[in-house]
Amino acid sequence: MFIIAKAKGSVKGMIRENKINLTKNKNMLKEKINEFYLSNQKDRTQNRFFISDAGKCHRQIFYSFKNAPKKPIEPNFLRLFDLGNHVHQMIMRSLLNIKGIRVVAAEINIPPHGIISGRADAILSVDKEFYVLDIKSMNSRAFGYLNEAKEDNVLQLRLYLYYFKINKGILLYMNKDDLRLKEFIVDSDTKQVEKLLGELNVLREQIDSNTLPSRLSDYPKNWRCRYCNFSSACKAIHK
């Protein structure tokens, strides 16, 4: 009798204790996971252009080179990047096992070049034709509106086509919420790429001479300004 009573008391005590602990530590994992993502964040000063800079605001890239103060990236965005990497792996696993598709190379750096660096997801051979593959992931809302490849993505893929001397590329988009796919074939466009490289050369000179590029012509309405990590620095200088 005594033992049962003691046990009951002990269980109640444990429940009471656990309730307190659960209340106290209800964000224990969330905080630790957030810390993990924040501490693994690569926050190096930029010293060369990346393919992903194609289509970006030049002032934003300038700030990145100058390591200007910026809004920290929230842990949920860092997890989204991580999820994007898993999406890539999932797609590549299927491509490697599909008859008729040859993965010629995966995660391949563009040939060394002075001004820009980048890594393509894959080069594929389908029906004896080569394609550069670029995999993107997005949420349902953006995916629903996607009737054609996004302009910046096309430009980035064309840079890969230019450096790999391949005529066609594929932009493959995955909806992160329901894993549906959409794809778009992109043709190379040497003129457009050379124009972009010319603009990047001008930007490089501005960076080297500490000349701040102008804001986007439709600042602050442009969607890029809404998501820009350097918006405070940009707002502070009226130019």
Q: Considering the complex, state which of residue 1 and residue 236 has its C-beta at the smaller distance from ligand SF4.
A: 236
Nearer to ligand SF4, 192 or 229 (CB): 229
- Length in residues, the chain: 239
Which of residues 61 and 161 has its CB atom nearest to ligand SF4 in the complex? 61
Tokens, residue 8: 């009951």
Cβ-based nearer residue to ligand SF4, 51 or 228: 228
Which residue, 136 or 215, is less far from ligand SF4 as judged by CB?
Answer: 215
Cis amide linkage into residue 220, ω under 30° from 0: yes
Binding mask 58-87 toward ligand SF4 (x if CB under 6 A, else -) reads -xx---------------------------
Please give the biggest Cα pair distance in the chain: 90
Q: Please report, as a single letter, which amino acid is at residue 161.
A: L
- Print burial letters for 87-110: b (CB count within 10 Å at least 16), e (below 16): bbeebbeebeeeeebeeeebebeb
| Residue 57 lies near ligand SF4 (rule: CB under 6 A) | yes
Q: How far is the CB of 27 from ligand SF4 (least distance, A)?
A: 32
Binding mask 193-232 for ligand SF4 (x = CB under 6 A): ----------------------xx--x--x-xx--x-xx-
Least distance (Å) between residue 158 CB and ligand SF4: 22
Report CA Rg, the chain. 24
Q: What share of residues in the chain are helix, strand, coil (percent, to 5)?
A: 50, 20, 30
Number of shown-chain residues binding ligand SF4 (CB under 6 A): 13
Picking from 194, 204, 193, 170, the residue whose alpha carbon sits closest to that of residue 62 is 204
Q: Which residues bind ligand SF4 (CB under 6 A)?
A: 57, 59-60, 215-216, 219, 222, 224-225, 228, 230-231, 234
